[in-house]
Amino acid sequence: MKVNRPIRPAKKKAPAAQRDAAKTTPVTPPAPPSATFKLQKLLAHRGLGSRREMETLIASGEVSVNGKTATLGDRAGPGDVIRVGRRVIRVHEEELPKVLLYHKPEGEIVSRHDPEGRPSVFDKLPHLRSSKWIAIGRLDFNTSGLLIFTNDGTLANRLMHPRFEMEREYAVRILGELSEEQMKQLTTGVQLEDGQAAFTYLADQGGEGANHWYRIILKEGKNREVRRMFEAIGITVSRLMRVRFGPLNLPPRIKRGQWLELDEKETRRLLRLIE
């Protein structure tokens, strides 16, 4: 038995020029939606405070997004305008944190305000329009060396929080030499007012005359910890200089009182190293 097949209308062929254009014209995929982020995370990234502090700020009604008072749980992304008081913050597609390496000289404080009017490390840093510099770790008035600054609160917390045990390396000069017993004490632990402390590494670096240099590494940042540890065994530190913080070394080309900003490649490398 013969089966009658349905008759379909013949397809019209497009002109040759139109067919060739279709072959060569690339199809543009739809643009992916812009990412949005929790508001407290964005503000913390801008160096305005910790995420918890930003949550409190949002809850107080002092933050708005695109003219509307923000509430906890709000998100923002590229194109949104955030206001915190009189400060305006614009969100861009991808914004890497800014990171500065500063060679702190002796005689400067790591604070924005000082009742005694002493010079501040912040006086020499470049101005930021919609965020502020955060000092990663502190150095006391008489200590020199590497200070790291960023405008990203999350990055600052990642480098400073005790649970991450970020190494700090120092060059220390004392009068005289340490005995084997003293070196053992400093690496096994000495008792301070705020708990026990120990160097994870201690090495003799030689010296001239009565002065002697040592290289030390520790994984915490208590106030004046290095000086207090030496004082606990009866030794006074005459010179103290930080040469490394975590994966970042003090570059020899940065003179005292000068700073260097990491470029995009260096910043991405730092973020990978501390993931």
Q: How far apart are CA 174 and CA 41, in angstroms?
A: 44
CA distance 212 to 227: 15
Q: Which of 20, 80, 114, 140 is catalytic?
A: 140
Is residue 140 among the annotated active site residues? yes
**All residues at 6 or more sequence positions from 174 whose CB lies less than 8 Å from its CB, including other chains:** 211, 212, 214, 230, 235, 236, 237, 238
- Distance from C-alpha of 98 to C-alpha of 155, rounded to nearest angstrom: 10
Beta strands 144-150 and 237-245 are parallel
Let me know: does 184 contact 249? Beta carbons within 8 Å.
no
**Which positions are annotated as active-site residues?**
140
